[in-house]
Structure 1
Amino acid sequence: MNGITLFSIVLTIAAYCGAMILSRKVPSPLTSPVMTSTAAIILVLSLMDIDYEDYTPAKEWMTFLLGPATVALALPLYKARKILIKRFKSIMAGLFTGTLTTIFSAVLLSKALGLSEGLQAAAAVKAVTSPVAIEAALLIGGNPAIAVAFVMAAGIFGAVFGPLILTVARITDPFARGLGIGTVSHGIGTGQVMKEGALQGAASSIGMGMAAVITSLILPWLYPLIK
């Protein structure tokens, strides 16, 4: 591990810790830790003339940890198992509807904007967590790096504006709010909605996990039909 890689890892961790402190002191969708820490990292790297290729090894070290972190989300699923069983039909209906709508809207909007098929494929996986998005993008001919960028953008947008949109839409049920955020904004949205309560966080974890499973199963045969 060279000096730039070590510096990049330390910078990323420090920026996120600082963003977490800011988020607690100034609670607001605009102080979402992922958004503020990302902006801080980009600013520092730009000022120090460190390009993305130099930052990539540090990113790969940290991306490796996304796998275990995603598996760890099984704990909230287990804790919410009674609610999951009780609302199973409505949950699955919402998950399938949300996942299909996300895929269709991403691909159709990409086509309307004249984006290439590679970018369309990358956009199709934007609502699932990065480890799943990378593999799903490869299956349908998308660029994994661009897919991750779409995933980050979807997560940040959902974390910042998702709770506000749900409030404006008068969706107040804690489980419904969490499930909606998790379905379209994966881990980043889940981290934000957990601030509303444990039930919202558990529901968001369910949405995040199940949306990833549904996307992985249906995308390989659905995408060729709509691209």
Structure 2
Amino acid sequence: MSGITLFSIILTIAAYIGAVHLARKISTPLTTPVLVATIVIIFILSSMKIDYSQYTPAKEWMTFLLGPATVALALPLYKTRKILMEKFKSAVLGLSIGTITTIITAVGLSKALGLSEKMQAASAVKAVTSPVAIEAVLLIGGSPATAVAFVMGAGILGAVFGPIILTVMKISDPFARGLGIGTVAHGIGTSQIMKEGSLQGAASSAAMGIAAIITSLILPWIYPLFN
């Protein structure tokens, strides 16, 4: 491991810890830990003339750890398993519609904006967690690096604005709020909605996992329809 890689990992962890402390003191959508940490990291790396290619090895180490971290979300699922099972059928229906709609709108908008095919492919997997997005985008000829960028962008926007939009739309049911955030904002959104309660977190965790499965199954069939 090179010095830059080690420094990048330490910087990322330190920036996130600092952002979490800031969010506890000033709780607003604009102090969402991932958003603040991302801005800080970009600023520091840019000022030190460290480009993305140099940061990539550190990113790969941390992306690898996302798998075990995602498995840890099983705890809130277990605690609220009775409620989740009661609403399982309606949840899967909503998730299926939401996931398909997300893929279609993302690719359709990318195509309308004249983005390249690789960008279109990356946008198709923006709503699933990074480990799944990296593998899924390869099925449709996209770039894993670009896919991760889309995933991070979607997650941050979903975590910052998702709860606000749900509130404006007068969606107050804890299960529905968690389901909505998990469907479109994966792990980043889940970490944010968990602050509202364990049921929201559990529903979001379930949504994130099921949406990833649905995306992996239907993506190779839906995406070619746009080309």
TM-score (norm 2): 0.98
Q: How far apart, in 2, do the equivalents of 1:143 and 1:4 lie?
A: 24
In structure 2, how many angstroms separate the alpha carbons of the residues matched to 1:3 and 1:87? 50
For 2:50 and 2:32, locate their aligned partners in 1 and report how far apart those are by CA, in whole Å.
25
Write the distance in 2 (CA, Å) between the matches of 1:80 and 1:211: 19
Match of 1:96 in 2: 96
Aligned residues: 227
- What is aligned with 2:135? 135
| Deviations, residues 123-168 of structure 1 (Å, cap 9, x unaligned) | 0000000000000000011111000000000000000000000000
AA at the equivalent of 1:29: P
Gaps of 5+ in 1: none
**In 2: Cα distance, 1:80 partner to 1:224 partner:** 38
Moved more, 78-87 or 161-170: 78-87
Instruction: Map 1:185-200; keep pairs closer than 5 Å.
Output: 185-200=185-200
**Which AA in structure 1 matches 2:22?**
L
Instruction: Quote how far apart the aligned CAs of 1:13 are.
Output: 0.6
Structure 1 residue ranges (4+ consecutive) displaced by more than 4 angstroms after TM superposition:
none
- What's the Cα RMSD here? 0.9
Question: Corresponding residue for 2:36?
Answer: 36
CA displacement at 1:226 relative to structure 2:
3.0
Deviates more, 1:62-71 or 1:120-129: 62-71
- Give the TM-score of the pair, scaled to structure 1: 0.98
Q: Which amino acid aligns with 1:109?
A: L
Deviation at 1:6, TM superposition (A): 1.1
Q: Distance in 1 between matches of 2:78 and 2:219?
A: 27
Mean alpha-carbon deviation: is it higher for 52-61 or for 103-112? Answer: 52-61
Correspondence list, 1:171-210, <5 A? 171-210=171-210
Q: Equivalent residue for 1:24?
A: 24
Q: Percent identity?
A: 75
